Amino acid sequence: MVLTSPSSTSTLSIAETSIVTGKHSSSTLPTDNDSPDDCPRAWIVLFGAVCIAFTTSGYTSTWGVFQAHYEQSVLKDTSPSSIAWIGSIQQSCLYIPTLIFTRLLDMGYFRSMLTSASLIFVSATFLVAQCRTYWQFILCQGILTGITAGIFTGPVTAILSQWFIRRRGLALGLYAAGSSMGGTVLPITARALIPLIGFPWTMRVLAAIILFGLVMGNLTIKQRKSSLLVKGHLFEFSPMRSRIFLLYCSASFSIYLGYYTFTTYIATSAISNGVPVSFSFYLVAICNACSGLSRLTSGSIADRLGAINLMVPATCLSAAIYYIWPFSHSQVGFILLSVFYGISIGPFASLVSSPVLDLGDRNQSGQRIGILMSLVGVAMLAGAPISGAVNTSQGPVSMGLFAGSMMLFGAILMATVRLYVSTVNLNNPNQ
């Protein structure tokens, strides 16, 4: 891994301690001037980040509601697996282009990206209200909202790493909880309004909520003045020389192959098992609400124990829930599955980028986050449609086995990263 900052050796020393235990050694803790965690400005930035997470990734987290609605109304002649591609494209576009956007962040273009993405995201949400055909939904709800939401995701995560060092886990946990809050409020809002005012006006109401959140984010988020701007090529792949970083990316890729299967298909699975349609839509909200509570606590716990130490057992629990899912046939069973999946997936959702931030120079954190998120975006694109195809051809048991096994394999790889970091010297750039 090529590191050009004179502080890179110190950063890597911090990584050896923080990735394994969650604690920084006293000799490598950043100075007060370098760690603005207690500065009011840092918390204002975090507030703006939560507003953006609520309206962008929170909106994309409601896809399960749209999946069920489209299957029963405007796209009822389209197969569930095909409809799932809309949500998968949206989620993948949220991450795949992050490699470009985080590099532009490092080069100093965040403000222009933030403003333009806000305008396009709101406009695309308004346009969804006018969509009538499959390809219109692909373009507006899949591609446009996905890409513009992706402009926020990676760069905002990197900016939080500039403002928070000692309390980074807490900050990332609160940021991720904003997504869960949006994923709880927005589907309930959509479910309540669609029967009353129709789908088009429901989308306009959601667009207005999104507009308010993005305005708040634009007014409060900024980069730290002490963050160095990086010069060079738009694409920079030097972090991929690190075997530890590549192994961590592989673990995250595998987990994301199964990650969104639950929220994509839980509503339709419940309906097929006799759960009332009017209630099934709330399962996504229940899952996101429990995930939000889990994310709120995961950050502070990770600051003490280490992010990977928390993510590995939690992800194993998520895999177990996938194995149980096909055998649930009652409303109470689906509620319990939603509760426990939300709780178990919260640590991974909020902390997945945290170890990456410690694997190099802090001023180039956007570069590493971009590579990670671009890779996992591919997994998001393929995960839910593959699960849908498996469900159609082999049944729900096979779908649960596929999604659960992907998450379990990813947890094993992540545990290997933890063991690797504790036994090798990260100062070797080829490790």
Question: Domain for residue 205, yes or no?
Answer: yes
* 262-308 pLDDT, tens digit each: 988 888 888 888 888 878 878 888 888 888 888 888 877 887 888 88
Q: What is the CATH number of the domain that holds 344?
A: 1.20.1250.20
What is residue 380's predicted lDDT score, i.e. its pLDDT? 81
Element spanning 46, H or E: helix 40-55
| CA dist 45 → 74, 123, 216 (Å) | 40, 25, 10
Instruction: Give residue 206's pLDDT.
Output: 93
Dump pLDDT digits (tens) for 332-387: 999 999 999 999 998 898 888 878 876 656 656 667 777 888 888 888 888 888 88
Cα–Cα distance list, 199 to 21, 70, 284 (Å): 48, 10, 18
**Has residue 23 been placed in a domain?**
no
- Overall number of domains in the chain: 1
**Helix (H/G/I), strand (E/B), else coil: 332:** helix
Owner of token pair 């760690």: 35
Residue 8: inside a domain, yes or no? no
Q: Residue 30: helix, strand or coil by DSSP?
A: coil
Tokens 């890179």 identify what position?
8
Q: Considering only CA atoms, which of 286, 332, 386, 352 is closest in space to residue 154?
A: 352
Question: What percent of the chain has a predicted confidence (pLDDT) above 90?
Answer: 26
The answer to the question of residue 14 being in a domain is no
Instruction: Report the alpha-carbon distance of residue 115 to residue 109 in Å, rounded.
Output: 11
> Which residues, including other chains, have CB under 8 Å from residue 361's CB and lie 6 or more apart?
3, 4, 5, 7, 8, 11
Query: Does position 215 have pLDDT exceeding 90, yes or no?
Result: yes
For the chain, what's the residue count? 431
Q: Which tokens hold the place of 155? A: 């760069």
Instruction: Please name which of 228, 264, 245, 204 lies closest in space to residue 387, comparing C-alpha atoms.
Output: 264
Is pLDDT above 60 for 104? yes
Whether 233 is covered by a domain: the verdict is no
- Mean pLDDT in residue range 124-132: 91
Q: What is the mean pLDDT of residues 240-246?
A: 78
Cβ–Cβ under 8 Å, residues 391 and 320? no
The sign of the torsion formed by the CA atoms of 378, 371, 43, 122 equals negative
Residue 425: pLDDT above 60? no
Cα–Cα distance between 206 and 299 in angstroms, integer?
29
Looking up tokens 């709101």 gives 122
Expressed as residue numbers, the domain containing 358 is 40-223+239-423
Q: What is the pLDDT of residues 299-316, one digit of tens each?
A: 778 878 888 899 999 999
**431 by DSSP, 3-state: which?**
coil
Beta carbons of 339 and 286 less than 8 angstroms apart: yes
Asked, for residue 12, whether it belongs to a domain, the answer is no
pLDDT, residue 208, reads 94
Question: Per the domain annotation, does 383 fall within a domain?
Answer: yes
Give per-residue pLDDT as tens, 397-421.
899 999 999 999 999 999 998 888 7
- For the chain, give me the number of helices (H) and strands (E)? 19, 0
**287 in any annotated domain:** yes
Q: Taking the complete model, does pTM exceed 0.85, yes or no? A: no
Q: Is the pLDDT reported for residue 200 higher than 80? A: yes
pLDDT band for position 47 (cuts 50, 70, 90): very high
